[in-house]
């Protein structure tokens, strides 16, 4: 329903949430709802990327270690060279695992932030439903019609 009240243009938008429609009669509520949904998606995306990146770093480090061991078994490098490579690459492996650990820590923080945003979005939608119900009740009282249950 589009109405012109004074100088404020108010629109009704039905946004389904868990099977229950919410009527947003305020363009500000619509903008806030969209902003919260976008923030939730972006945060979840960053958390997913951080998780994949951490797993990739660990897998790459293990893959290189297996490759060095295979070279030693096949005789492509001598025992002395293998020892030298192992010592040199142990530092790389530890550094790689340290970076992966930091990446995992960041991924956990991103997932926690995504959970916070999900909760914030859910809370906003719950409040929007409540406000929409109150608006419908006020409208019904002014028209003396029983209010619809949302």
Residue 146's pLDDT is what? 65
Residue 21's pLDDT is what? 53
In a domain, 55, yes or no: yes
In a domain, 107, yes or no: yes
In a domain, 2, yes or no: no
Residue 123's pLDDT is what? 92
Phi, psi of 6 (to 5 degrees): 65, -120
Which tokens belong to 66?
Answer: 């297996």
Whether the Cβ atoms of residue 114 and residue 47 lie closer than 8 Å to each other:
yes
In a domain, 57, yes or no: yes
Question: Domain count of the chain?
Answer: 1
In a domain, 149, yes or no: no
Residue 19's pLDDT is what? 52
Instruction: For the chain, 150 residues long, give each residue's pLDDT as a single digit of tens.
Output: 333 333 333 444 444 445 555 555 577 888 888 888 888 888 888 888 877 877 787 788 788 888 888 887 888 878 888 788 778 878 877 887 787 788 788 888 888 888 888 899 899 889 988 988 888 888 888 887 666 776
Which tokens belong to 76?
Answer: 């492509």
In a domain, 91, yes or no: yes
In a domain, 6, yes or no: no
Separation of alpha carbons 24 and 150, rounded Å = 12
| pTM strictly above 0.85 | no
Q: Domain range spanning residue 91?
A: 11-143
Query: Distance between alpha carbon 113 and the CA centroid of its chain, in Å?
Result: 8
Closest residue by Cα to residue 14 from 30, 28, 3, 34? 30
């Amino acid at each position: 329903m589009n109405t012109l009240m004074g100088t404020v243009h108010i629109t009704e938008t039905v946004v389904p949430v868990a099977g229950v429609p919410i009527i947003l009669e305020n363009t500000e509520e619509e903008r806030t709802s969209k902003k919260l949904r976008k923030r939730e998606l972006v945060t979840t995306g960053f958390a997913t990327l951080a998780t994949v990146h951490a797993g990739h770093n660990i897998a790459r480090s293990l893959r290189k270690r297996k490759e060095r061991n295979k070279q030693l078994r096949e005789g492509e490098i001598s025992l002395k060279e293998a020892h030298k490579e192992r010592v040199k690459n142990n530092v790389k492996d530890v550094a790689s695992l340290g970076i992966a650990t930091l990446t995992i820590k960041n991924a956990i923080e991103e997932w926690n932030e995504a959970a916070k945003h999900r909760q914030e979005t859910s809370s906003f939608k719950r409040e929007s439903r409540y406000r929409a119900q109150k608006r419908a009740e006020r409208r019904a009282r002014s028209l003396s019609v029983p209010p619809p249950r949302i």
